[in-house]
Chains A and B, each alone.
Chain A
Amino acid sequence: MDMIIAGLLDSISLASLIFLLAGVAVGVLIGAIPGINGPMAIALFIPITYYMTPLTAIGFLVGLNKGAFFGGAVSAVLLRTPGTPEAAATAWDGYPLTQQGKGEKALRMALYSSVAGDFLSTIVLIAIAAPLAAVALFMGPAEIFALISVSLTVIAGIGTTSISRGLIAAGFGILLGLIGTEPVTALPRLTFDVYQLGSGLSLIPVAIGLLAFSEILLQLERLAVNGSGEHCVTVFSKKSEDRLVSLKEFFATTKALLRGTLIGVGVGAMPGLGAPVASFMSYDQAMKRSKKKHEFGKGSLEGIAASESANSSVVAASLIPLFVLGIPGNLAAAMLMGAFMIHGMQPGPLLFKENAQLMYGIYGSLVLASLLLLLIGRFGLRFFCKAVNIPAMILYPIVMFTCIMGAYLGKSSMFDVGIMLAFGFIGYYMRKFDYSYVAFLIGFILAPEWERALQQVVIISEYDSYMFFQRPVAMMLMALTLFVVVRTFWTSIHAKRKNKKIQAAAVAAAQHKVTE
């Protein structure tokens, strides 16, 4: 009990509150800018958190991520260009409202749904993470090894259209994650006699290059081909019924909101799926079950509530596998895992045992971040709308220079800047060639833990080749890994056949039309 109170008191200290507020505000601002999302923002700002206490740092990054999720809705509603992929479904109903002069109403609905979904999902996280972590403590190295294997396979299968490319990316990530000092012999491995690689590739330059820099390269290419695109609509109607969401209107969306939250929590807790899946799934369900189906796509508040509550509830839910098992479920969680490691902590069930006060502090910060999001969104809405209009030609050089200085900041080394540029280049090609950078990054982060678990299994089992068969849970997880690979291959072959059939039918129909 003392731990809980001490942790909660830490979360309401002045420094924590200031950085949490700053995190949420910067997150909304960044999320509102098309092309920049939560994980990118975390990658860019992790170097700053070197200079903070662990609680302030994690609170700041969590606030940043939560803010960015809502921020994505701003450009989705005003510009029909979602700031983040998960806000795409919000644009379907938000933009029509903006065209009717009700943009502010759409944004308020997005804010309230976002905060409600996020708050409820945080409560679920708080309620189940610690008890599940207590159970997870019984897992041995064999189970951990098998669990990482199955997570990597699931993430590799989902992040790309081909599981083979996903697994190649994950393998590449694991390989690069093993560069540095080998844990058993304490001798350099795959360093190619470059002394800076002795401690391995740092996560910060790799993540900044892969997530932020490569995305800016793509955005600039898009800008060169398509021009600066359409201008944002920020003219709102002044009538109060067009600006505000009444209680009646809000309560009319309750079912969609709660369903969205439930879907978001479920999807967020599973590795690999991510917020866009939750958002589209929730929107689809809301449309199917609504009494006003005809309003969907034309400015339905229910549609906005379904999409926003689902994608925001993924934020806290994605921390469940991270806190319980030490496995990041999505990119944002992987970046937060990196932040934990930078501050000398290994996410997983032991975190509750060894850093209980910090964990309760983080819980406090998560709840406060939801409330601060409501406050910041409510009063800063018009300011954030203006952020959407920052010209790309000014914005992108600023982001690129921030990437360079962010990579430098970690170790005050230009070598890391070179690493960041190299990974920006690699990330650009990975995106172009459809290799999952999510699988790569998660493989990169989990590689040392995967190897450590394998080393322990080999040593404990005394070189028994059947070591996994003696542990039923590990055996089940390894079987699940195999099942995921086979099933994904099978589904992709089946989809190809289906595509061919559809195409043949379309060609036949076209020929029939021509003959007629």
Chain B
Amino acid sequence: MTRIKRDTIAYLLVVGFCVVMLSWAIPTYTPAYPGYGASPALVTNVAVGIMLSMAILSLLTIAISVFTNKPLPPEESEFPEDLKDGGGFTQVGRVNIMQLGRIMIPCVLLLLAIDLIGYALASFAYLMILQYAIGNRKWLQSFVVSVTLTLLLYIIMRYGFGVPVPGPQLFE
């Protein structure tokens, strides 16, 4: 996928989002005009309007450059790594969905599990899984980090700030 294609998809998503907001979300979930001051929907409409107009303007720029056969220079139309050796990583570049999934899935699981099995077990399991997911195969090191961090944050939250840790408590 070239950078132009990626930007086009992103702008189209922005346009879609704005259309949904203007046609459904803002009218449905904004209070009616009370009869004085500015309408509660004014600033939200302005914000969405800015997004929509900028996305359409950018799409037009891309369309003009494509239809007039005047492509943008490679450094703007392609990812920098494509220009070099076809590999590597750049911050403004491809999304590594597998890697993203490896990190995000344990986080989402922690969110769901913490209310079921409690802070201690869920946090320990999360840290073990996360360290494995990012490539740490030293089990003892992973175990020590997980136990220490779980305990340390428990002590800080419980006794330092007096905040109950999330989920059912193991020893209470």
Q: With an 8 A cutoff between CB atoms, is B168 at the interface?
A: no
The 8 Å CB contact of B134, one of A185, A393, A447, is: A393
Interface string of B8-41 (1 = CB under 8 A from A): 0010001000000100011001111010111010
B145 adjacent to chain A (CB < 8 Å): yes
Residues B135 and A224 in contact, CB atoms below 8 Å apart: yes
Selected from A400, A418, A428, A443, the residue in CB contact (under 8 A) with B111 is A418
Distance of B114 from chain A, by nearest CB (Å)? 7
Residues A224 and B99 in contact, CB atoms below 8 Å apart: yes
CB-defined contacts of B135 to chain A, threshold 8 Å: 223-224, 393
The reply to whether the CB of B120 lies closer than 8 angstroms to some CB of chain A is no
Stretch at the interface among A15-23, A238-246, A406-414: A406-414
- Chain A residues whose CB sits within 8 angstroms of the CB of B76 once the complex forms: 496, 499
**Are B43 and A454 closer than 8 Å at their CB atoms?**
yes
Q: Write out the residue numbers on chain A whose beta carbons fall within 8 Å of the beta carbon of B50.
A: 167-168, 170-171, 174
With A189-B40, A458-B37 as contacts: A218 and B107 at CB distance below 8 Å? no
Return chain B residues, CB-CB under 8 Å to A424: 104, 107
Cα(A190)–Cα(B152), bound, Å: 38
Closest approach, in angstroms, between the C-beta of B153 and any C-beta of chain A? 5
B103 / chain A contacts, CB cutoff of 8 Å = 217, 220, 400
Q: Which chain A residues (428-469) contact chain B, with CB distance < 8 Å?
A: 428-429, 431-435, 443, 447, 450-451, 454-455, 458-459
Interface residue? A385 (CB, 8 A): no
Whether a CB of chain A sits under 8 angstroms from the CB of B163 is: yes
Q: Is the CB of A221 within 8 A of B153?
A: no
B: number of interface residues (CB 8 Å):
69
**Interface readout for B37-55 with A: 1 if CB under 8 Å, 0 if not?**
1101011101111110011
Contacts of A192 in B (CB 8 A): 25, 29
> Once the chains are docked, how many angstroms separate the CA of A431 from the CA of B91?
7
Does the CB pair A171–B99 fall under 8 Å?
A: no
Q: Does A51 contact B (CB under 8 A)?
A: yes
8 A Cβ contacts from A224-259 to B: 224-226
A433/B31 in contact, CB under 8 A: no
* Cβ–Cβ contact B14 & A168, under 8 A: yes
User: How far does the Cβ of B38 sit from chain A's closest Cβ, in whole Å?
Assistant: 4
B161 touches A51 (CB 8 A): yes
Q: Which of B44, B46, B88 has the most CB of A within 10 A?
A: B44
Answer whether residue B73 sits at the interface, using C-beta atoms and an 8 A cutoff. yes
Q: In chain A between 151 and 189, which residues have their CB closer than 8 angstroms to a CB of chain B?
A: 162, 164-165, 167-168, 170-172, 174-175, 178, 182, 184-185, 187-189
Any B CB within 8 A of the CB of A396: yes
Cβ of A414 and Cβ of B115 under 8 Å apart? yes
Hey, what's the 0/1 contact readout for B134-156 against A, CB within 8 Å counting as 1? Answer: 11100001000100010001000
List the A side residues contacting B110 at CB < 8 Å: 404
For chain B residues 78-106, which have a beta carbon within 8 Å of chain A?
88-89, 91-96, 99-100, 103-104
Is there an interface contact between B136 and A171, defined as CB atoms closer than 8 Å? no
Residue of B nearest to A402 (CB): B153
Residue of B nearest to A181 (CB): B31
A425 within 8 A of B: yes
Number of residues of chain A lying within 8 A (CB) of chain B:
71
B residues 53-73 touching A (CB-CB < 8 Å): 54-55, 57-58, 72-73
A172 nearest CB neighbor, chain B only: B51
User: A164, B47: Cβ atoms under 8 Å?
Assistant: no
For window 480-516 of chain A, which residues contact chain B by CB distance below 8 Å?
A: 496, 499-500, 503
Cα-based distance from A418 to B30 in the complex (angstroms): 24
Distance A220 CA – B126 CA, assembled complex (angstroms):
16
Contacts of A193 in B (CB 8 A): 29
**Contact pattern, A 371-413, Cβ under 8 Å of B = 1, otherwise 0:** 0000000000000000000000110111011101100110010
Given contacts A221-B99, A450-B43, 12 further A-B pairs with CB under 8 A are A51-B161, A164-B54, A189-B29, A189-B31, A190-B44, A220-B99, A401-B127, A414-B166, A424-B107, A431-B91, A433-B10, A455-B38
* B interface residues with partner A (beta carbon < 8 Å): 6-7, 10, 14, 21, 25-26, 29-32, 34, 36-38, 40, 42-44, 46-51, 54-55, 57-58, 72-76, 88-89, 91-96, 99-100, 103-104, 107-108, 110-111, 114-115, 123, 126-127, 130-131, 134-136, 141, 145, 149, 153, 157, 161, 163-164, 166
Binding site for B on A (CB under 8 A): 48, 50-51, 162, 164-165, 167-168, 170-172, 174-175, 178, 182, 184-185, 187-193, 217-218, 220-226, 393-394, 396-398, 400-402, 404-405, 408-409, 412, 414, 417-418, 421, 424-425, 428-429, 431-435, 443, 447, 450-451, 454-455, 458-459, 496, 499-500, 503
